[in-house]
């Protein structure tokens, strides 16, 4: 039913991502949005290209994109875009970054695409139809014990100012899992959980564009996604816990354990 949108989004993410990759060695003009929150001209260039194509093809759809674009519309379709997820890595030349494009219909994400141009890995999902990596169906892992689980997380940009900076949870999981990683692209964290490279991922204070596409990819790959209390996940919410389902309760237990 949403095939047309899926194909359009896959092509768009790939085309723009490959252009960014071609130019990513060029000088980066780095601006600070906050003490540790960066933006480059490539974030804006990527956003311009993505938004231009969407507006050309679907002029009456709404758009929410990270670098200050919020176009409301009476049409129930809304595009949610992170034109460059992993800007800190990108700015330092660390090749772990992605583009994330999702299409929401009346509050439900129906199509999600995350593209990693460095590895030419295209993750995508369509509601009710499954999730794929480069066209091949993906599934979550089967690790049942937190003790054996490889986890991933991230830290919010207010890490220096707020005590809710995830350092406490990071410390706890580091002691009771196989290991915890911090890659720096929430969209890829979700996709890597979806395809079984990670068994679980938690983070807080993300924005809708960080998690819209990736959350659908996790669900469609058979994963479980909730907030830290096990309540339904929302891309507009403050917490994300995405796992293979088998270690979900064990992670909720740690997330809610008193010091």
Q: Which residues bind ligand IPD (CB under 6 A)?
A: 82, 85-88, 154-156, 184-186, 206, 210
- Closer Cβ to ligand IPD, 2 or 155, answer by number: 155
Q: Which does 185 bind (CB under 5 to 8 A by kind): Ca ion, ligand IPD, none?
A: ligand IPD
Q: Which does 224 bind (CB under 5 to 8 A by kind): ligand IPD, Ca ion, none?
A: none
Helices 3-23 and 41-57: crossing angle, nearest 10°?
150
- Closer Cβ to ligand IPD, 41 or 144, answer by number: 41
The CB-nearest residue to Ca ion is: 85
Question: Residue holding tokens 């410390």?
Answer: 171
- Closer Cβ to Ca ion, 85 or 199, answer by number: 85
CB of 213 to ligand IPD, least distance (A): 12
CB of 37 to ligand IPD, least distance (A): 6
Q: Which residues bind Ca ion (CB under 5 A)?
A: 66, 82, 84-85, 210
The CB-nearest residue to ligand IPD is: 154
What residues have CB less than 8 Å from 102, skipping those under 6 apart? 79, 80, 81, 109, 111, 112, 113, 209, 212, 213, 216
Q: Which does 154 bind (CB under 5 to 8 A by kind): ligand IPD, Ca ion, none?
A: ligand IPD
Cβ distance 31 to 47 under 8 Å?
A: no
Going by C-alpha positions, the residue among 229, 168, 174, 188 that lies closest to residue 84 is: 188
DSSP 8-state class, residue 92: H
Using CA atoms, how far apart are residues 129 and 192, in angstroms rounded to an integer? Answer: 19
Using CA atoms, how far apart are residues 210 and 214, in angstroms rounded to an integer? Answer: 8
Going by C-alpha positions, the residue among 122, 92, 102, 111 that lies closest to residue 18 is: 122
Cβ distance 141 to 196 under 8 Å?
A: yes
CB of 159 to Ca ion, least distance (A): 15
CB of 9 to ligand IPD, least distance (A): 18
CB of 100 to Ca ion, least distance (A): 7
Instruction: Please report which residue ranges of 99-200 form alpha helices under DSSP H.
Output: 167-176, 186-194
Using CA atoms, how far apart are residues 152 and 201, in angstroms rounded to an integer? Answer: 5
Q: Which does 220 bind (CB under 5 to 8 A by kind): ligand IPD, Ca ion, none?
A: none
- Closer Cβ to ligand IPD, 36 or 137, answer by number: 36
- Closer Cβ to ligand IPD, 143 or 185, answer by number: 185
Q: Which does 156 bind (CB under 5 to 8 A by kind): ligand IPD, Ca ion, none?
A: ligand IPD
CB of 48 to ligand IPD, least distance (A): 16
């Amino acid at each position: 039913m949403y095939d047309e949108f899926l194909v359009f989004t896959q092509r768009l993410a790939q085309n723009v991502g490959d252009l960014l990759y071609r130019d990513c060695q060029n000088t980066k003009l780095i601006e600070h949005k906050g003490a540790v929150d960066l933006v480059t001209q490539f974030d804006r260039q990527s956003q311009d290209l993505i938004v231009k194509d969407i507006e050309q093809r679907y002029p009456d759809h709404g758009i929410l994109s990270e670098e200050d674009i919020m176009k409301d519309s009476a049409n129930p379709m809304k595009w949610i875009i992170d034109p460059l997820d992993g800007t800190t890595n990108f700015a330092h030349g660390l090749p772990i970054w992605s583009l994330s494009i999702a299409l929401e219909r009346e509050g439900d994400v129906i199509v999600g695409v995350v593209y990693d141009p460095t590895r030419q890995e295209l993750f995508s999902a369509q509601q009710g139809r499954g999730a794929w990596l480069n066209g091949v169906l993906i599934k979550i892992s089967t690790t049942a014990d937190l003790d054996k689980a490889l986890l991933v997380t991230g830290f919010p940009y207010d890490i220096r100012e707020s005590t809710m900076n995830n350092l406490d949870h990071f410390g706890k999981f580091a002691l009771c899992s196989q290991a915890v990683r911090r890659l720096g692209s929430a969209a890829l964290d979700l996709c890597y959980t979806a395809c079984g490279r990670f068994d679980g991922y938690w983070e807080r204070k993300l924005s809708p564009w960080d998690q819209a596409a990736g959350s659908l990819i996790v669900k469609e790959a058979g994963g479980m996604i909730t907030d830290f209390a096990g309540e339904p996940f929302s891309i507009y919410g403050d917490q994300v816990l995405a796992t293979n389902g088998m270690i979900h309760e064990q992670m909720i237990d740690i997330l809610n354990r008193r010091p």
